[in-house]
Each structure stands twice: as structure tokens, then as C-alpha cells.
Amino acid sequence: MNLAREAIELLGQVARILWFEGTKHGLRDREWMALRFLSRANRFSRTPSALASYVGTTRGTASFIIGELERLGYVERKRSVTDKRSVMLSVTQTGKKFLARDPVNVLVDALAVLEDDGKIGFRDALRHLLDQSDAAEQRHHTDICRRCIFLREDRAIIDGKTEFTCRLFRAPIAEAEVDLLCTSFEHHRQ
């Protein structure tokens, strides 16, 4: 039995829960993907262009998705504090509550019952797949700051919290932000 092939065949079937025809609880699969992403993205990635990159679509389609999520009251847009020309997207309280109906929660719940070793092994296996396919296709997947080549841990520990800096955006990163998603993430090449 080819275990690697068997695993990927199963992964393909799991993906059907993420990608579906029509709507679930009123949202299409890409709208769910966008709402889920915006609830987990850091401040550099809650923009229309980062959303388009994450969903894998054009700016026009991303704009349509954002408009739909705004119309339903799940997302709001604000002018960036640092750059008035940029727009920052955020999930509203209504959107956060609505995420309890996310179709992928069935997968999250199924994984949650595994021992920690099983969850870590599953997560690390998926990361390995993405890291390898990034190298083969000369691209970078979206991931958390904690693994990023641009994250620098500053020595100063203030009020018991470690301070970080993003060397790409030249901005401070709070400890609470290092596990948020970023579309500018780059992992360390072996």
C-alpha cells in the first residue's frame, strides 16, 4: 500500500467539505473562506489585496466577496490609521458569532478529540506539504508570524511579554499577534 498516495486521496475528499456548490448558511465556499481568513489575519493582511491573494482570486472578485460580507453585516471596512488611502477589513461581532456555523467546524471538532501528538502530527504534515509545494512552485503559502523568516525576537521583555519586530514591514509585533495569519509570510528554506 502506498501510504503517501492514500493520505492525499483522503485529503482530497476532506477538501470537499471546504469547497462546495451553492451556499451553506447563506454563504458560498469562497465567502466562508474570506470570513474565516479575516477572523485570523494580522493587521497587514486584513486588506482587499491580501484577501484576494489568500482566496486565490482577482481584486474584482475579492471586492465582490467583501461587498457581500459587508451587506450581511459580517465584515466592516475602515480607513487605515497609518495610511488613509488603505482600507482595513475586520470581522464584526455578528460575523464572529456567525463563524460558529462555519462548515469546517465539523473538521475542527473531529480533530479536537485527538491527542495533542495526533493534532501536532497532522498540522506538521500539512505544513510539510505546503512548504514542499512552495519550493517546487516558487511561491509562499499564508502562515503564522511565529514561523516567518522576517520575525525578529527582541531581547527586551516588557511586563513579562516578549517583544517582536517584523523586518519586512518594519513594525512591532505583539506577542499576541505571532500566531495570526499573514499573506506576506516566508518560511525558512532548509
Least Cβ distance, residue 168 to ligand SF4 (angstroms): 4
Distance (Å, rounded) from C-alpha 17 to C-alpha 10? 12
Binding test (CB under 6 A) with ligand SF4, winner from 168, 172, 174, 175: 168
Tell me the three cell numbers of residue 76.
466592516
Which of 150, 153, 163, 175: binder of ligand SF4 (CB under 6 A)?
150
Instruction: Spell out the residues 6+ positions from residue 30 whose beta carbon is closer than 8 angstroms to its own.
Output: 55, 57, 61, 65
If the CB atoms of residues 64 and 169 are measured against ligand SF4, the closer one turns out to be 169
How far apart (Å, rounded) are the C-alpha atoms in residues 181 and 41? 4
Nearest to 90 by CA among 102, 78, 106, 108: 78
| Residues from 4 through 43 that contact ligand SF4 (CB under 6 A) | 42
The residue from 32, 44, 54, 74 that contacts ligand SF4 (CB under 6 A) is 44
* Closer by beta carbon to ligand SF4, 39 or else 42: 42
Q: Which range, of 28-36, 52-60, 99-107, 142-150, touches ligand SF4 by CB under 6 A?
A: 142-150
Considering CB under 6 A, how many residues would be counted as binding ligand SF4?
12
CB of 40 to ligand SF4, least distance (A): 12
CB nearer ligand SF4, residue 101 or residue 152:
152
Q: Judge whether 188 and 149 are in contact, CB under 8 Å.
A: yes
Please enumerate in sequence order all residues whose Cβ is within 8 A of that of 62, keeping only pairs 6 or more positions apart, or say none.
Answer: 34, 48, 49, 51, 52, 55
34 vs 148, beta carbon nearer ligand SF4: 148
Distance of CA 50 to the CA centre of its chain: 10
Residues that bind ligand SF4 (CB under 6 A): 42, 44, 145, 148, 150-151, 166, 168-169, 182, 184-185
